[in-house]
Every structure is written in structure tokens, then in C-alpha cells.
Amino acid sequence: MFALARHRRGAAAAALLVLSTGCGVLTGPNNSEVSDDITVTSPMLREGEKLPDRYTCRGEGMSPPLRWSGLPAATESLALVVDDVHESGSATVHWVVYGLDPADPELPEGTVPMPAQQGINSFDSAVYEPPCPRGDDEHEFRFTVYALSEQLELGEAASLDVALGAIAAHTLARGRLTSVP
């Protein structure tokens, strides 16, 4: 059982690499190149700065508020992936949300607005799993918003591999806010 869970996380990490900019060019629907035109901000986070304890296991462990702009006109829905990239290049997915309404330019703190749904994360749960920064580990906590060409019909608690694969297959554009421990 442990080996199967580890395999699923490994496959999900490979899908995550496809979603990230580190491994080649991400292509969206019809093999079109995906732009990085979405601007992601937060009233509580600043690009490249420390993730406030409130949003980690050291604090309340709630999800931070996020805002976005610059969506392509063809955007039908949005997805959010929160991951923790380690110095080794591996990643841990802390949160997957899909079905976000593109007409709403923000995600309030600690919420998942309707009709959005949560997928399974690297911890085998469909919730925001707060990061637990450890000492001098080199990490990046990434909050990536994806503009999608269609609504994902995955249902609540889709597996990590399925959710990341569907997001990658329908991404028109993306944007990211990065924080450090």
C-alpha cells in the first residue's frame, strides 16, 4: 500500500513538472504555447518574501487570500495549485482547487467558493494542507493560478494525477506568486 501511495505521488510530481516552467514549454489546448500573463497577488503575501506563519502549520494553517488579473478572453474556469518545491527539484502539492469562477478575481482567506472543488493533495486529502517549513531547508512555496479552456468535470476529491493532468491539458495561461519559508 505504501509503495502504491509513493508511486501515485511520484506520478503526480511528474505531472506537476509538466505544469511548472522548469521542464520545457507547457502547451495548452491545440498545442498552443501557454503564456505566463496572469498576475497573482495577495494582500498578505509579497513575491519572494517569507510565508506568514498564519498560513503554515506554525499558525492557524489557513489558506491565504489571493487575487488575479490578466486572464485570457477564452478562460472558462480557473484552477489553483499550491506546491512546495524542494532544493532537489521534487515538489509536494499542498492544495488543488478547480472550478473557480473566472468572473471572480479573488479567493478569500480560508475558503473555497462555490462551485469550486478541491482535489487530493500529496497528503491524500482534499484540503489546504499548510506547509511546515523546516529550519534551513531551501524551499519555494508557489501559488499558481491556471486559466483553463473549459470547466473541469472532475467532481470533488479527484486524484492528484487526474487533477494535474486535466489542468495541464486545458491550460491557456498561468501566473504565480512565490513565497519562501
pLDDT at 139: 74
Burial letters for 97-132: b for 16+ Cβ neighbours within 10 Å, e otherwise?
bbbbebeeeebebeebeeebbbbbbbeeebebbbbe
pLDDT in tens, 33-62: 667 789 999 999 999 898 899 999 999 999
pLDDT of residue 87: 74
- Res 134: pLDDT: 72
Consecutive 10-residue averages of pLDDT for the chain (181 residues): 40 47 45 75 92 91 95 96 84 95 94 93 95 73 95 93 96 93 68
* Architecture in CATH of 2-179: Alpha-Beta Complex (3.90)
Tell me what pLDDT residue 111 has: 93
Per-residue three-class SS string for the chain: CHHHHHHHHHHHHHHHHHHCCCCCCCECHHHCECECCCEEECCCCCCCCECCHHHCCCCCCCCCCEEEECCCCCCCEEEEEEEEEECCCCEEEEEEEEEECCCCCEECCCCCCCCCEEECCCCCCCCCCCCCCCCCCCEEEEEEEEEECCCCCCCCCCCHHHHHHHHHHHEEEEEEEEEEC
Beta bridge partners of 176: 144
Contact 168, 19 (CB under 8 A): yes
Q: What is the pLDDT of residue 48?
A: 87
Model confidence pTM above 0.75:
yes
**What pLDDT does 138 receive?**
66
